[in-house]
Structure 1
Amino acid sequence: MTAQAPPRVLTVAGSDSGGGAGIQADLKTMLALGAHGMSVLTAVTAQNSLGVQGAWPLPAEAVERQFRSVVDDIGVQALKTGMLASAELVETVAGLLSSVAAPVVVDPVGVSKHGDSLLATEALDAVRTKLLPAATVATPNLDEVAQLTGVRVSGEADMRRAAAAMLAFGSQWVLIKGGHLPSSDDALDLLTNGTEEHWLRAPRHDNRHTHGTGCTLASAIATYVAKGYDVPGAARAAKAYVTGAIAAGFPLGGGIGPVDHGYLWRGQQPDSSPSGV
């Protein structure tokens, strides 16, 4: 007998040589949640727990050929984008996405966990005008919201304003990640399409080893969408998975360690699932 293929999810992102974020985190997440992960590499980074020591974008032709090789033969049921590095790559990837009917999760990666830039300043306009209009759901953190819209979020009241500014660029849904809000006792996110509004809350865990959270969340959403969840259901399930991965995060090297993508395999569970309203 021939086994049935699991859901197919494609990540278009950069490599993290330390294994905590980027393509590596995406593929680990997809495997942990029951999908077949595939990859289009956009950039190579020299990266570890202390930061990013170097980054080298790939040629646009290499990105396009990887994409077409996967999509034209294997096909995809959802896609996720991460580090795109340059305006040329943003425009190339946006054009490729327009040829695929599958839902797209855009993680508009601008800076690393350590504050290192992963997107050229001149690429911001291409993200706003080319990439975000192709998104089924965009998942910016608060720094990326400020970078793209100029809106600075200092409390829950600002999150609606940030979401409206992001939606104006054309994505169907936006998930404003409020994990860095100092004024909140919970890790609070806002998911909205401009009509529906879903506030997702999860407990904060006293764990500094959180490298890769953004990549992991976006990949988890893409995986759940590929498995048939609607966007709100995918976001809630993805947040539950990431909450557990953060709780199980472990030290690695001399800096910030990664979340644990494989905690479910070891029978560990998050302290509580996110609530949503």
Structure 2
Amino acid sequence: MTKPARILAIAGSDSGGGAGLQADIKTITNLGGHAMTAVTVITAQNTLGVQESETVSINIVLAQIDSVESDIGIDAIKIGMLGSSDLIGPLAQRLAHLEVPIVFDPVMVATSGSMLADEATIAGFHALMRVATITTPNLTELARLTSSQLSSTYEMEREARRLSRDSNCMILAKGGHLESDLITDIFVQPDGKVDRWKAGRIETQNNHGTGCALSSALATGLGQGLAPVDAISQARGFVRAALIAAPELGQGNGPLGFATMREYWP
């Protein structure tokens, strides 16, 4: 029997099951991987927002990583919500020696719901990017990481190129926040090579967890041995299928259709 790729998701817990580690586990499992977790934040959360949260201690986060690595092993890692800037430095140091693909989704939200965007946090995110294989910022995150204002695909690509070169990290810049019926995602490598994907916007308010699902799907593909471009194509197709299959749960920003997407996904 072929063993599944072992994918570690380092992120927060979403009690509503739409985003965070719950979305990661569903994504990794759907794609044939073995999902493992290091919980960074525990949230009381539903489709309407976050009501309560509590940050997990740095020692416990690192201990979770050590535990799964020492026994089960790791083929790829996805990093999502960290919840506190205090974790960033120790995590970057802990992951620096691991020779596995690392996908970093630079979620800039604290447990309080405020933006993690001070200078120390951004410096820490740049340190994580130097450890990561691919970083997957949306438009807002890319703008903050590059201290720029972005309002077009051209500007997004220009800053993604600069960020990739400066951090020596591949960048998948997600264009969903641009006001356009056609969404363009741009993949930039440090050597300047660029790949682009374009697709029509799927009109739905049930898109909670799309960034989590994309990054964990990408990590799974890399852990399974796919080339980055192929892993991105697979991840984008997975998320689009899950968006189309969204079951319209809750009163707000609902979850993706992880359980109902099979007719839209091979």
Answer yes or no: is 1:6 the counterpart of 2:4.
yes
Aligned match of 1:202 = 199
SS in structure 1 opposite 2:183?
strand
Answer yes or no: is 1:223 the counterpart of 2:194.
no
Match of 2:130 among 110, 133, 158: 133
- Structure 1 runs not aligned, ≥5 long: 271-277
- Structure 2 runs not aligned, ≥5 long: none
Aligned match of 2:258 = 261
Shift of 1:187: 2.0
**Contact 1:11/1:79 (<8 A) preserved:** yes
Output aligned runs, 1:222-241, within 5 Å: 222-241=219-238
Aligned match of 2:84 = 86
TM value normalised by structure 1:
0.89
**Contact 1:25/1:216 (<8 A) preserved:** yes
**Contact 1:248/1:259 (<8 A) preserved:** yes
Output aligned runs, 1:66-145, within 5 Å: 66-111=64-109, 116-117=113-114, 119=116, 121=118, 122-128=120-126, 130-145=127-142
Distance 1:94 1:125 in 2: 12
Distance 2:117 2:53 in 1: 11
Amino acid at match of 1:227: Q
Shift of 1:116: 3.5
TM-superposition CA deviations, 1:226-273 (whole Å, max 9, x none): 1111111111111011111111123222111011123443x2349xxx
Which stretch of structure 1 is more off in the superposition, 89-98 or 59-68? 89-98
TM value normalised by structure 2:
0.93
Match of 1:35 among 33, 36, 56: 33
Q: Percent sequence identity over matched residues?
A: 40
Distance 1:99 1:119 in 2: 26
**Contact 1:42/1:63 (<8 A) preserved:** yes
**Contact 2:92/2:131 (<8 A) preserved:** yes
Which stretch of structure 1 is more off in the superposition, 159-168 or 4-13? 159-168
Distance 1:177 1:169 in 2: 19
Shift of 1:168: 4.4
How many residue pairs match? The answer is 263
Match of 2:186 among 181, 186, 190: 190
Aligned match of 1:274 = none
Provide the alpha-carbon RMSD of the alignment: 1.9
| Cα distance change on mapping 1:185 and 1:44 into 2, 3 Å | same
SS in structure 1 opposite 2:167?
coil
Distance 1:15 1:260 in 2: 18
Distance 2:145 2:227 in 1: 26
Aligned match of 2:143 = 146
Aligned match of 2:63 = 65
**Contact 1:81/1:107 (<8 A) preserved:** yes
**Contact 2:170/2:189 (<8 A) preserved:** yes
SS in structure 1 opposite 2:174?
strand
Aligned match of 1:275 = none
Answer yes or no: is 1:251 the counterpart of 2:248.
yes
**Contact 1:244/1:263 (<8 A) preserved:** no
| Cα distance change on mapping 1:42 and 1:171 into 2, 3 Å | farther
Distance 2:115 2:209 in 1: 14
Shift of 1:56: 1.6
Amino acid at match of 2:186: L
Amino acid at match of 2:141: E
